[in-house]
Amino acid sequence: MNGAEVTFSYLEELNEIQRAAVETTEGPVMVIAGPGSGKTRVLTYRIAHLINIGAAPWQILALTFTNKAAREMKERIEKVVGPKAQKVWAGTFHSLFARILRVEAHHLGYPNDFTIYDTDDTKSVIKEVLKQMKLDTKVYSPGAVRSRISSAKSNLITPKAYAVNEELMTYDRMNRMPLMHMIYDKYVKKCLRAGAMDFDDLLLQMFRLLYQNPNNVKAKYQAQFRYLLVDEFQDTNFLQYEIMRQFVNYEDSPRNICIVGDDAQSIYSFRGATIENILQFETDFPDVQTFKLERNYRSTQHIVDAANGVISYNQRQIKKKIWTDRMGQNKIKVIKTLTDTEEGKRVADMIIEQKNRHSIENTEIAILYRTNAQSRVFEEYLRRFNIPYRIYGGLSFYQRKEIKDLMAYMRLTVNPKDDEAFKRVINYPKRGFGAKSLETLVTFAEDNDISIFESIPHVEMRGKAKTVLVDFMRLIANFRTKAEKANAYETAMYISKKSGITELLKGDGSMEGMSRLENINALLDGMQEFVEDDELEPGEEIADKSLAKYLQNIALITDMDEDKDNTDVVTLMSVHAAKGLEFKSVFVVGLEENLFPSYMSLSDPNQLDEERRLFYVAITRAAEYLTLSYANSRYQYGQMRFNDPSRFIEEIPPENVDSMIPIKSKSEGGGLGTPKVLGSFKPLKQPMPKINAKDFVANDPSEIKEGMKVMHMKFGEGEVLSIDERQVATIHFDQVPESPQKRIMLQYAKLQILK
């Protein structure tokens, strides 16, 4: 094989547009890469091609968002050009800029061996500043303060500029944080004095380095990096783009910048990403050559058409038409259920059906949701059906710290002898009970063969430790008293508030803190659902809604050994986490107004557009089978809430859907249209009752009598056959042919008298 064949054979693997994007090496280039269009191949082959036509590897700067992406990029390049691929400057923004700053930081007043502060370090410094300023951490939450400082840095706003920015100052005053600018200033000075940069500084100081040293440092790196490539450009923030411009916008510059991305997959504004960067790129670089990768190699025609249909509702976008030659016979399925619990069961049912009917492996299936807190109900049904699963990039719902913390309080309430629960919460939230004091208790308990809780009255404690233990024993005693009188949900609500967990999480204004609070609320909502479930289990004489019973049920559900070696698992993840991945079968769940799209986006057209892009990302993860599901009702903050189906379902072209759902056309301009039968989707095993959930009004249980016709939220119309002395009603439901007779505890029943 001669040299020419070795050098250019890889070009034969590309389609016409991909090849043009790879071979156009000079000047600004924009590659708009639709989902499944071979973006990574184009990017890596472009770098390999640059090297093969004479560029030195160290003259190429390739910026990515993850170390994994950079690693894979180098591996692919190496397959084409050999070991010299390792000399390409390929890595994340933070890692490559840290590498440069290690050489040049002295120009900024930092030592070249500066420390990099992680999130915990940053919060520690902020707490120190708050302490020195004698500010209340419940108002000035360290998490919220860190988030504000990060946002300011990402927008090139210094402490001095912050203090004169009326919009920022007004926002802070509205949030009872008027001294935020002073905290920011003191934080920056502390970091500089310590010779430390946080993660945001790695970008901010990189910009300062280039901007403030144009004739030496900037000129040096402009000369070195002749070619700049940026992956996932739609995810860049204001500061990242300004740094790139410093590299390529200078006199006599060849402006060899190549950006690769897709405006339709811009979904990270909450992290500071701005879609403006990619939408305005052609304005900033008028001589740009644009290549649109519109062929989708991943998904079938129905899925691609659905994606095109949905994204067409966004006004601000770079127009493109994704296409595929993978026809496929499977239209998009839509599951409509009355409750989110039933949604979990139906999704698990369909997974089993797909596995049996189409021989799909677990690893080829994904369940995608808008928020991580939604995983609970799907996890529970997958466990019940013995379907192995894994949470991608995170923990199972009941393994999340905040859930284990609250559950530990509940376990200790039911059983004060639970040593593991005691050790977990004795100093959470922090009470000033140290490790040595706990060790004293544990040692005494072991020596005397009693529980830690039982050892408390017998161990001599002094000062703060003694006060903490007395207060803690009183707290648990109050919880036990509450549990004796109240149901599981009421007790858990009481525990979450009185323990201080809810207040602690509410005080953390960061995204992580909000997510933890969402998980707590999801747990409580599940407990309210447990309490209000009025159907008696077979053989059950009376409904037990106690905290002890709830914990028993959860223990049985979660007692599934997690086989770490099992790789054939269904994947559960948020849509944000799914970007860049693909599966043979995808379930997008919780598709309701106020959930997906999020209620926070409904008043802002730009945020609503981003929610639509998020849905676009979700459905284009599917290769062959796409199932969408929604529930008419779900518990939120302990109350049953009723939501309409997501507008995104209605925006899918009807010819691509196999179900019975209300459809609207663009010309109708909103509202649900007339239901149309589309195909022949397999009916529910238990047909949905014909009931408008919003109009449902339950009667007082004492009004229910034998012989009455009643309406049940879950089972539809029924006739009360009998009511025994325990006030358990036997009701016949015609719409539940498999098991029409249900035993329902009237104390918890929600029945509407029809006649």
> What tens digit of pLDDT does each residue of 95-112 get?
999 999 999 999 999 999
CA angle, 88 then 91 then 97, to 5°: 100
| Percentage of residues in the chain having pLDDT higher than 70 | 90
Q: What are phi and psi of 31, to 5 degrees?
A: -110, 110
Please name which of 714, 674, 686, 678 lies closest in space to residue 698, comparing C-alpha atoms. 714
Q: What are phi and psi of 255, to 5 degrees?
A: 50, 50
Statement: residue 678 has pLDDT above 50:
no
pLDDT score recorded for residue 685: 39
Statement: residue 129 has pLDDT above 80:
yes
Beta partners for residue 89, in sequence order: 61
Taking only the tens place, the pLDDT of each residue in 267-318 is 999 888 999 999 999 999 999 999 999 999 999 999 999 999 999 999 999 9
- Pick the range with the lowest mean pLDDT from 88-92, 218-222, 711-715: 711-715
Where residue 151 falls among pLDDT bands split at 50, 70, 90? Answer: very high
> What is the helix (H) or strand (E) element at residue 626, kind and residue range?
strand 622-636
Tell me the average pLDDT across 490-497. 95
Statement: residue 5 has pLDDT above 50:
no
Comparison of pLDDT for 622 and 445, the residue scoring more: 622
- In angstroms, the CA 78 to CA 3 distance is 16
Q: Report the residue count for the chain.
A: 755
Statement: residue 680 has pLDDT above 60:
no
CA angle, 236 then 241 then 244, to 5°: 125
pLDDT score recorded for residue 540: 61
Q: Which of 641-650, 701-710, 733-742 has the highest mean pLDDT?
A: 641-650
pLDDT score recorded for residue 597: 96
Backbone angle region of 361, left / alpha / beta, with phi > 0 → left and psi within -120 to 50 → alpha: beta
CA 751 to chain centre: 37
Sheet containing 728-733: order of strands:
741-745, 728-733, 716-723, 709-712, 751-753
Comparison of pLDDT for 348 and 603, the residue scoring more: 348
* Contact status, residue 73 vs residue 44, Cβ threshold 8 Å: yes
Where residue 238 falls among pLDDT bands split at 50, 70, 90? Answer: very high
Comparison of pLDDT for 630 and 678, the residue scoring more: 630
Comparison of pLDDT for 674 and 433, the residue scoring more: 433
Statement: residue 690 has pLDDT above 60:
no
> What is the helix (H) or strand (E) element at residue 40, kind and residue range?
helix 39-52
Tokens of 539: 């053989």
Where residue 665 falls among pLDDT bands split at 50, 70, 90? Answer: very low
pLDDT score recorded for residue 295: 96
Strands (E), 225-345: 227-230, 257-261, 289-293, 332-339
Q: Which residue intervals of 294-451 are DSSP H helices?
A: 301-311, 340-358, 375-384, 401-414, 419-425, 435-447
Statement: residue 667 has pLDDT above 50:
no
Statement: residue 738 has pLDDT above 70:
no
Tell me the average pLDDT across 554-570. 70
**Residues tagged active-site:** 39-40, 231-232, 265, 621
Comparison of pLDDT for 724 and 207, the residue scoring more: 207
* Contact status, residue 151 vs residue 172, Cβ threshold 8 Å: no
pLDDT score recorded for residue 664: 38
Taking only the tens place, the pLDDT of each residue in 30-73 is 999 999 999 999 999 999 999 999 999 999 999 998 888 888 88
| Percentage of residues in the chain having pLDDT higher than 90 | 63
- In angstroms, the CA 339 to CA 569 distance is 26
Tokens of 740: 């029409």
Statement: residue 482 has pLDDT above 80:
yes
Tell me the average pLDDT across 667-674. 37
Please name which of 356, 349, 416 lies closest in space to residue 381, comparing C-alpha atoms. 349
- Pick the range with the lowest mean pLDDT from 596-605, 681-690, 734-743: 681-690
In our burial notation (b when 16+ CB lie closer than 10 A, e otherwise), range 319-340 reads ebebebebeeebbbbbbbbbbb
Task: For the chain, report the end-to-end CA distance as a whole number of angstroms.
Answer: 88
Tell me the average pLDDT across 694-713. 82
pLDDT score recorded for residue 348: 96
Comparison of pLDDT for 253 and 92, the residue scoring more: 92
pLDDT score recorded for residue 381: 94
Query: What is the overall mean pLDDT for the chain?
Result: 88
Tokens of 658: 């196999």
Distances from the Cα of 258 to the Cαs of 11, 42, 228, 250, 253, in angstroms? Answer: 18, 11, 6, 16, 14
Where residue 321 falls among pLDDT bands split at 50, 70, 90? Answer: very high
